[in-house]
Amino acid sequence: DADVTQTPRNRITKTGKRIMLECSQTKGHDRMYWYRQDPGLGLRLIYYSFDVKDINKGEISDGYSVSRQAQAKFSLSLESAIPNQTALYFCATSDLGGAGELFFGEGSRLTVL
């Protein structure tokens, strides 16, 4: 099993719908991240959390919210999805006490019609 698991892996939805992407990890890492990837571009940071009580906005947080339910779980919500949120979403973890190396889930491909 993967150390960082994302669900769903693929989702097609309609404009205005609420969508939640979930991430769970078995690495025991403190830090968790949500990134977005658009075609031809690198990953951009949406939100990050350094521990359960710490939530921070990244560079493109508008239109998104997150919840850190436990050390191992970090979910990303789109309250009212719009077509330009169509993208590949990645969850990642890193260890606070370590060297900051990022480990990624397999990605969640979201299409908003």
Q: Phi, psi (5° rounding) for residue 31?
A: -95, 135
Smallest separation, CB 80 to other proteins (Å): 26
Find the shortest distance in angstroms from Cβ 81 to other proteins: 20
Taking CB under 8 A as the binding criterion, the range among 18-26, 40-48, 62-70, 77-85 that sits at the site for other proteins is: 40-48
Query: Which of 19, 21, 29, 31 is in the footprint of other proteins by CB under 8 A?
Result: 31
Pairing of strands 10-13, 108-112: parallel
Is 36 one of the binding residues for other proteins (CB under 8 A)? Answer: no
Distances (CA, A) of 61 to 2, 5, 28, 97, 99: 27, 22, 25, 26, 26
